Amino acid sequence: MRRWVAGLLLSLVVLTGCGVGSAPVRASLGARQALTSSPELLEFESPSIRLELYREVARLSQLEAGQAAQSSMLFPITVNGELVAAPGIEGRTDLLQAPDAGAPLQLNFDGRTGERWQEDRRESFQGLSEREAAELVARTLLAHWKVNPSGVVQVDRASSAPYAAAYVDGILRINPAFLYMAAAYGPASLPGAVQ
């Protein structure tokens, strides 16, 4: 009997190690490390890994929400002249579903930092371009944070920044690595999605 149980356990371990069975997905790097790396590295990660990183960012954002300024904040924003952590996002929030349908917010994507948003469509962004994904994420975040600007909001590309997105001095800076994470919510999170 012991041999049979030991053999069964060994078979399960081998099958799980070969990709058969339900082994948990583990990201090769943490969310903070992914944000400071080249955003294109995330393009080659599986949707399930990018989704795990997105959920990690969401979980950390909820822990940080409302805290005073720190250099490691994922979503720093200016509120009444003070730098604080923005309200957290939930791991099941689809940031590519802009709640305002594009109505009142005016966004400008002609970067002042020299980094241009990429215009080519990518499967990793659910068929959108990086700029289109950034627009949807920008609208969703600003609505979630209840930011009501009086004029045009400048949206800058901030690759390798230590944060996911920051709204400071009327400028929204989005880390493109975060876009890869946020775009994974749709396809990777559906039941029966290919891992």
80 confidence band (pLDDT: 50, 70, 90) = confident
Please give the structure tokens belonging to residue 156. 């800058």
Burial class of 149 by CB neighbour count within 10 A (0 to 12, 13 to 18, 19+)? middle
pLDDT tens-digit profile of 8-62?
344 434 444 444 444 444 446 788 899 998 888 888 888 889 999 999 999 999 9
Output the pLDDT for position 158.
92
**Cα–Cα dist 26/158, whole Å:** 26
Is residue 135 pLDDT above 80, yes or no?
yes
3-class DSSP state for residue 56? helix
Nearest to 157 by CA among 40, 78, 65: 40
Nearest to 77 by CA among 133, 135, 153: 153
**Cα–Cα dist 101/91, whole Å:** 21
Query: How many whole angstroms from its chain centre is CA 146?
Result: 19
Nearest to 53 by CA among 16, 26, 85: 26
157 confidence band (pLDDT: 50, 70, 90) = very high
Output the pLDDT for position 66.
81
pLDDT cut 90: percent of the chain above it: 37
